[in-house]
């Protein structure tokens, strides 16, 4: 059972200053991987030891999960990993803006909370302002990876990313959905879905050299994204 929180509630709309890489990593100049919506952190706890020359930051809106993930990280003594509590659509843009050029090299958004209905559009994790902030922080060739087991969740994300004109799929990726996960560690949700014999929908994008669009123009395009699956998920 997924535990939803409403990111538009007053508590989650309060900006939270986030510590810079220099404040949380001893070797802060390493390339940075940002995992948005890291939940309990199992994915990053498995990935960080395999990539010791990278720093990894997981951000999550559910504070108890962040506290649990940080306890596990400390027990494992992983100095290239940190978990931060925030609403990414309120607090992350300023943090991204302050990063040194080309420090952020990989972004993942995996199995985000399934806000299906169009009236819940503003509750979805990937908003136009966040996408523009990511596109600004990522240099050409750096990567954005998204995946979900719910088609009506990932399709609006795909549409928004492609409407921005800031990202392209790798030239050798001709399938509608990427079959294999490019990351060496699956999330808990991914393992569960695959164990049930269900499909995971994946897309890998690379930052191109196009300038990020104006927020107003991308928001206007975003409003045209219509999710036709509301009737399929009446309880969400």
Decide yes or no: CATH 3.40.50.150 for domain 87-232: yes
Helix (H, G, I), strand (E, B) or coil at 175: coil
Percent of residues in the chain assigned helix, strand, coil, to nearest 5: 40, 15, 45
Distances (CA, A) of 95 to 134, 144, 166, 181: 11, 18, 20, 28
- Is the pLDDT confidence value at 62 over 60? yes
The answer to whether residue 72 is catalytic is no
pLDDT of residue 207: 98
> pLDDT band at residue 229, thresholds of 50, 70 and 90?
very low
pLDDT of residue 236: 42
- Average pLDDT score over residue span 90-107: 96
pLDDT digits (tens, 9 = 90+) for 148-184: 999 989 999 999 999 999 999 998 888 889 999 999 9
- Is the pLDDT confidence value at 222 over 90? no
pLDDT digits (tens, 9 = 90+) for 108-161: 999 997 645 565 555 578 999 999 999 999 999 999 999 999 998 999 999 999
Q: Which of 35, 72, 97, 113 is catalytic?
A: 113
Burial of 147 (0-12, 13-18, 19+ CB in 10 A): buried
| DSSP result, 106-134 | EEEEES-----SGGGGGGSS--HHHHHHH
Query: Strand pairing of 201-207 and 167-168?
Result: antiparallel
pLDDT of residue 230: 46
Alpha helices in the chain (DSSP H): 21-24, 42-47, 63-76, 88-97, 128-137, 151-164, 188-195, 215-222
Average pLDDT, the chain: 89
pLDDT of residue 174: 82
Out of 9-13, 61-65, 118-122, 229-233, which region has the weakest mean confidence (pLDDT)? 229-233
In degrees and rounded to multiples of 5, residue 181 shows phi and psi of -75, 125
Entry pTM: 0.90
In degrees and rounded to multiples of 5, residue 163 shows phi and psi of -65, -25
**Which is more confidently placed, 179 or 15?**
179
pLDDT of residue 123: 57
Burial of 211 (0-12, 13-18, 19+ CB in 10 A): exposed
pLDDT digits (tens, 9 = 90+) for 193-218: 999 999 999 999 999 999 999 999 99
Out of 60-69, 160-169, 219-228, which region has the weakest mean confidence (pLDDT)? 219-228
Task: Give just the sign of the alpha carbon dihedral 61, 67, 72, 76.
Answer: positive
């Amino acid at each position: 059972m997924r535990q939803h929180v409403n990111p538009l509630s007053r508590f989650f709309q309060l900006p939270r200053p986030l510590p810079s890489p220099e404040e949380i990593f001893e070797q802060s100049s390493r390339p940075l991987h940002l995992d948005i919506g890291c939940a309990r952190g199992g994915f990053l706890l498995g990935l960080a030891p395999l990539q010791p020359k990278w720093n990894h930051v997981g951000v999550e809106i559910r504070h108890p999960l962040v506290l649990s993930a940080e306890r596990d990280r400390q027990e494992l003594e992983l100095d290239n990993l940190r978990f931060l509590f925030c609403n990414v659509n309120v607090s992350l843009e300023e943090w991204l803006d302050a990063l040194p050029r080309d420090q952020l090299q990989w972004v993942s958004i995996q199995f985000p909370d399934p806000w299906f209905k169009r009236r819940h559009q503003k509750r979805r994790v990937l908003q136009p302002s966040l996408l523009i902030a990511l596109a600004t922080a990522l240099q050409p060739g750096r990567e954005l990876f998204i995946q979900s087991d719910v088609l009506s969740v990932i399709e609006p994300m795909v549409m928004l990313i492609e409407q921005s004109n800031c990202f392209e799929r790798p030239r050798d990726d001709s399938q509608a959905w990427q079959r294999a996960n490019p990351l060496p560690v699956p999330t808990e949700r991914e393992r569960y879905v695959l164990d049930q014999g269900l499909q995971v929908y994946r897309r890998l994008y690379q930052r191109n050299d196009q300038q990020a669009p104006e927020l107003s123009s991308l928001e206007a395009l975003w409003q045209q994204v219509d999710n036709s699956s509301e009737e399929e998920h009446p309880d969400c």
